[in-house]
């Protein structure tokens, strides 16, 4: 379970303190899917960066199960991300010189699994995202929707406990958005993975277990 308590975050811009998140309290249960909405600049990306430990809080606490994300050092944080977290970005961040299969297997290269097992896990996740037939294609030949599904497969392949996704359908048309979100939510439920997804798209909200709205750095 992810627990965010009394979280605040400020940035310093030319020595001026700019408060971006104020007193955020949020609990996300195991296997729960959560959408985070709010206007541009309301602090959504900042909140995700704090959850993943990419950025550090100004005050407050974030825990995930037994891990206190807000007090871990850089090397524990990278291990935590590798072992428990999947991250999906708006711009897919795939490696174009590699095939779909190779992109999806990348996070497994950091594990000590046998090659057979890595291939098995990658094939399984490609199947669940309806990408199996594209396994050997280089990712620069894919459509936007397919590329984002590869990025999702890459985030899911390590079977993380939590996925965070920042506007993952921001670049997709409606059809691709619907398919992508359907497959993402279905895969999270199958793998018992929690999901925190930032989205502007009101039509997607009803598919999530819970929706939270940020406005001027506060949950409303």
Given the rule CB under 6 A, which residues bind ligand ADP? 11, 13, 18, 20, 38, 40-46
Three-state DSSP at 145 gives: helix
* Interacting partner of 187 out of Mg ion, ligand ADP, none (Cβ under 5 to 8 A depending on kind): none
45 binds Mg ion (CB under 5 A): yes
Closest CB to Mg ion among 67 and 208?
208
Closest CB to Mg ion among 55 and 102?
55
d(Cα 87, Cα 101) in Å, to the nearest integer? 18
103 binds Mg ion (CB under 5 A): no
Closest CB to ligand ADP among 52 and 128?
52
* Interacting partner of 149 out of Mg ion, ligand ADP, none (Cβ under 5 to 8 A depending on kind): none
Q: How far is the CB of 220 from ligand ADP (least distance, A)?
A: 13
Q: Alpha carbon of 7 to those of 2, 26, 57, 164: distances in Å?
A: 13, 9, 7, 18
Q: Kindly indicate which of the ranges 8-16, 24-32, 45-53, 61-69 contains the residues binding Mg ion, using the contact rule CB under 5 A.
A: 45-53
DSSP letters of 40-105? TTSSHHHHHHHHTTSS--SEEEEEETTEEGGG--HHHHHHHHHHHEEEE-SS----TTSBHHHHHH
DSSP 161: S
Neighbours of 153 (CB within 10 A): 26
Helix (H) or strand (E) holding 174, with range, is: helix 174-191
Q: How far is the CB of 25 from ligand ADP (least distance, A)?
A: 18
Q: How far is the CB of 166 from ligand ADP (least distance, A)?
A: 7
- Which residues of the shown chain bind Mg ion in the complex (CB under 5 A)? 44-45
């Amino acid at each position: 379970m992810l627990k965010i308590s009394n979280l605040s975050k400020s940035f310093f811009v030319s020595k001026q303190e700019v408060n971006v998140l104020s007193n955020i309290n949020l609990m996300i249960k195991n296997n729960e899917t959560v959408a985070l909405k709010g206007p541009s600049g309301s602090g959504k990306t900042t909140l995700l960066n704090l959850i993943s430990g990419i950025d550090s809080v100004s005050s407050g606490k974030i825990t995930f199960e037994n891990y206190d994300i807000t007090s871990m050092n850089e090397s524990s944080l990278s291990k935590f991300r590798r072992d428990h977290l999947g991250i999906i970005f708006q711009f897919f961040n795939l490696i174009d010189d590699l095939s779909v299969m190779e992109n999806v297997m990348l996070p497994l290269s950091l594990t000590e699994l046998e090659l057979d097992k890595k291939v098995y896990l990658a094939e399984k996740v490609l199947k669940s995202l309806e990408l199996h037939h594209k396994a050997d294609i280089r990712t620069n030949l894919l459509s936007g929707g397919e590329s984002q599904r590869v990025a999702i497969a890459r985030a899911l392949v390590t079977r993380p406990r939590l996925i965070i996704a920042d506007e993952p359908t921001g670049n997709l048309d409606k059809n691709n958005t619907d398919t992508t979100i359907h497959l993402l939510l279905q895969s999270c439920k199958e793998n018992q993975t929690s999901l925190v997804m930032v989205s502007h798209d009101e039509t997607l909200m009803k598919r999530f277990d819970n929706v939270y709205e940020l406005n001027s750095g506060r949950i409303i």
